[in-house]
Amino acid sequence: MGSITQLTESTFDEEIGSATEPVLVDFWAEWCGPCKMIAPILEEVAQEHDGKVRIAKVNVDDNPNLALKFNVMSIPTMIVFKDGVEDQRLVGARGKPQLLEDLNAYI
């Protein structure tokens, strides 16, 4: 059963570097309405595509250095890391069909 990993500045590099599958990292904040809208969609994708793509989240308020490092200017921003390197960037909330289409190359 796929679950969503919460990443922090201290766990990010190890988690992303050791992942065998692509990792979609959702940069979000508690106060962000669109972030809350997409959260259940990410939960579904994590469960339905467990083993193909991993879903992780970074709270930008708690981890501002990660947001700076990856030049996250607006949230939600989702970055797909493949082999530890940024492979695709999705900015803004989207519905499940569009998100799955965006992730088609990984799932």
Domain residue ranges of the chain, discontinuous segments joined by +: 4-101
Percent of the chain with pLDDT over 90: 96
pLDDT number for residue 26: 98
Closest CA to 70 of 54, 90, 55, 53: 90
Beta bridge partners of 90: 78
What amino acid positions are annotated as catalytic residues? 32, 35
What pLDDT digit, counting tens, does each position of 61-99 carry?
999 999 999 999 999 999 999 999 999 999 999 999 999
**How far is it, in rounded angstroms, from Cα 44 to Cα 23?**
15
pLDDT number for residue 2: 74
pLDDT number for residue 1: 58
The CATH number of the structural domain formed by 4-101 is 3.40.30.10
What pLDDT digit, counting tens, does each position of 45-59 carry?
999 999 999 999 999
